[in-house]
C-alpha cells in the first residue's frame, strides 16, 4: 500500500451563520458591560461620544471654510493661468509670423 494513496477524509464545514439583525446588535450593546473592551477602544479613538464637543464642531467648521476658500482661490488661479497661456500662445504665433516676415525681407 502506498502512503500517498491513503484515503483522505474531507472535512465539511458548517454553513456561514446569518449576520445579526439590528435588534440583536442593539440588544448586545445594551447588555454589554461598561468596561467592555470595545467601549474602551472607542473612547481612545474619540468615537465613543455620541455628540461631538463644541470645540470639535468649531474646528470642523473652520476647516471647511478654509477648504472652500482655498478651493475658490485655486479655481481663480487656474482660470488666470489658462488665460495667460492663451495670451502667450497668441504672442508666440505673432512672433513666428513677424520672424517669417523679417526673414522674407532682403536686408
What is the pLDDT confidence band of residue 5, given thresholds at 50, 70 and 90? low
| Closest C-alpha among 40, 41, 60, 42 to residue 52 | 60
pLDDT of residue 52: 64
- Interval 49-100: pLDDT, tens: 556 677 888 888 899 999 999 999 999 999 999 999 999 999 999 999 999 9
Classify residue 79 by burial, with Cβ atoms within 10 Å: 0-12, 13-18, 19+.
exposed
DSSP designation for 5 = G
d(CA 88, CA 81): 10
- For residue 30, pLDDT over 80 is answered with yes
Q: Between 21 and 51, whose confidence is greater?
A: 21
Domain ranges of the chain: 22-104
Amino acid at each position: 500500500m502506498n502512503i500517498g494513496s491513503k484515503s483522505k477524509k474531507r472535512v465539511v464545514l458548517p454553513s456561514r451563520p446569518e449576520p445579526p439583525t439590528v435588534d440583536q446588535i442593539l440588544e448586545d450593546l445594551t447588555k454589554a458591560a461598561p468596561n467592555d473592551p470595545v467601549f474602551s477602544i472607542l473612547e481612545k479613538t474619540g468615537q465613543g461620544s455620541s455628540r461631538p464637543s463644541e470645540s470639535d464642531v468649531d474646528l470642523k467648521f473652520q476647516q471647511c471654510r478654509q477648504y472652500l476658500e482655498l478651493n475658490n482661490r485655486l479655481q481663480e488661479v487656474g482660470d488666470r493661468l489658462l488665460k495667460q497661456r492663451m495670451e502667450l500662445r497668441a504672442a508666440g504665433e505673432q512672433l513666428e509670423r513677424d520672424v517669417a516676415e523679417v526673414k522674407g525681407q532682403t536686408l
